[in-house]
Amino acid sequence: MKTVVVGMSGGVDSSVAAYLLKKEGYNVIGLFMRNWDAALNNDIEGNPTFGGEICPQEQDYNDALKVCEQLNIPLHRIDFIKEYWDNVFTYFLNELKLGRTPNPDLMCNKYIKFDLFIKEAIRLGADYIATGHYARMENGKLLRGIDSNKDQTYFLAQVAKEHFKNVLFPVGNLTKPEVRQIALELNLETAKKKDSTGICFIGERNYQKFIQNYLKPNPGNIVDVETNKVIGRHTGLMNYTIGQRRNVGISGNLERHYVCGKDVLNNILYVAFGDDTKYLESDECIIDNINFISDKRPVKCSVKFRYRSEDIEVNLEYISDTEIAVKYPNRAKSVTPGQACVLYLADECLGSGIIKTVKKNGKKLWYL
């Protein structure tokens, strides 16, 4: 009997994944990762942010434990707090300091869930590891999950190719409603539990207050990109994303506006007015931190610049082993340094890079 160690997150997807594997005849072992120290969940004044309630991470562990008891499988627990801080959270903070928009979930998968987790699973005797990601592995290829609304290959695109060797994605061939239905029929503890949202270590809390615990607020001017006039004050460039329309900080101005750029050197937030989104448009970006999961090196493919964005047809120019120029003649909006550019050929996820610079008409967008 083959042993599979399942990453139990305390959610419905990993719960059903564990059930399906046991049903298939595997010797299933659950493993819960603790990646964040709940004692750090304080606001800027040092006050606990959970109102005396059990913190979400501990609740997740309790839910995972109950599911494992229901399925009659063991659950182990391991702390990766230091490793998470060193490899994920520090990266996140450093990117914010540069005025970029990082995606720590990709780095969590790269360094924690599909690296340290695998090593611990092997120590527990695993022949395979499994997670509740909506993705598929077929003949060594990472494929999108059947449910296009839940496909999570975007978040797996920085994981090293060799780490997918003995990985199973039991729910990748199911839709989310089907997963929910299985959990309901089994009366699993997590059957009706809501999906987690937000950044994994922040959760559903005030983002700006949380970040202020680690990055000192650095207010500066908000400038109209067309007139170069100061029109307000921002609370710190790390609190804004390209394309953001709400809570920008321009008091008394009801005209539609959006964040279109950042000047980190001079601590300026640039804003454009009206419905014309020309300042969000680009036709090329340079990506680095290249990670290929596939052996294919196409010159044409599609990409996602954000998890929920539509696929965009692109041409690839391989500048070097470490950089690729991604060109999209039909243009795209809000392509932002620090975010991932994930490459696809039909359903196959080829890998990804991190957006370094953004261009339009051959010129780097100065305000990015």
Cα 351 from Cα 353, distance rounded (Å): 7
* Known active-site residue 200: yes
Give the chain's radius of gyration (CA, Å): 22
12-23 helix and 176-186 helix, angle to the nearest 10 degrees:
70
| Selected catalytic residue, list 55, 68, 108, 349 | 108
Specify burial of residue 95 (Cβ count, 10 A radius: 0-12, 13-18, 19+). buried
Q: How many residues are present in the chain?
A: 368
- Residue whose pair of structure tokens reads 């909006």 in the numeric block: 333
| Selected catalytic residue, list 55, 68, 200, 341 | 200
- Catalytically active residues, by annotation: 108, 200
